Chains A and B, each alone.
Chain A
Amino acid sequence: MCGLCGALGGEDHWTAHLSVAEQADVRRRQRAYRIGLINTVLRAPRLTLTDFQSSRYVLAGATGKRAIVDDLGGIWQQAETMTGASLDPLDPEFLDGLGT
Chain B
Amino acid sequence: MTATDASLIPVNVVSGFLGAGKTSLLKRVLASEAFGESAVLINEFGDVGIDDLLLGEIAEDAVLLSSGCVCCTIRQELSEALARLLELRADGRIPCFKRVILETTGLADPGPIASTITADPMLRHHLRPGINLTVVDAIHAGDSETAYTVWADQVAAADKLIISKTDLADTDRVDTLRDRLTTINPTAEILGPDAIAQPTTALFRQGPHVARWGAAETRRWLGLRPVGTPAVRESAHPDTVSSFRLRLAGEVDWTCLGVWLSMLLNRHGQRILRVKGVLQVRGGRDPVIVHGVQHTIHPPEHVRDWPCDDDRSELVFITRGIAGDRIVASLDGFMKRVSAYPAPVISHV
A residues with a Cβ closer than 8 A to B are 13-15, 17-20, 30, 33-34, 36-38, 40-41, 72-73, 75-77, 80, 86-90, 92, 95-96, 98-99
Q: Mark B319-332, 1 if CB is under 8 A from A, else 0.
A: 00010001101100
Across-interface contacts of B259 in A (CB, < 8 A): 15, 34, 37-38, 41, 72
B39 to chain A, nearest CB (A): 26
Give the number of residues in B that approach A within 8 Å (Cβ atoms).
37
Interface of B is mostly: helix
Cβ contact within 8 Å between A95 and B297: no
15 new A-B pairs (CB below 8 Å) besides A37-B259, A41-B263, A89-B334? A14-B298, A14-B300, A15-B255, A15-B262, A17-B300, A18-B300, A37-B255, A73-B262, A73-B295, A75-B262, A76-B263, A86-B267, A92-B329, A98-B334, A98-B337
B residues with a Cβ closer than 8 A to A are 3-4, 254-256, 258-260, 262-268, 281, 283-284, 288, 292, 295, 297-300, 302, 322, 326-327, 329-330, 333-334, 337-340
Among candidates A72, A75, A80, A99, residue contacting B338 with C-beta atoms closer than 8 Å = A99
Across-interface contacts of B266 in A (CB, < 8 A): 73, 76-77, 80, 87
Cβ contact within 8 Å between B264 and A72: no
Cβ contact within 8 Å between B264 and A18: no
Cβ contact within 8 Å between B330 and A95: yes
Question: Which residue of chain A has the shortest Cβ distance to B261 in the bound complex?
Answer: A15
A81 to chain B, nearest CB (A): 12
24 contacts between A and B (CB under 8 A): A14-B258, A14-B299, A15-B258, A17-B3, A20-B281, A20-B284, A30-B255, A34-B255, A36-B340, A37-B338, A38-B259, A73-B295, A76-B266, A76-B267, A77-B266, A88-B267, A89-B267, A89-B334, A90-B267, A90-B322, A90-B326, A95-B333, A98-B337, A98-B338
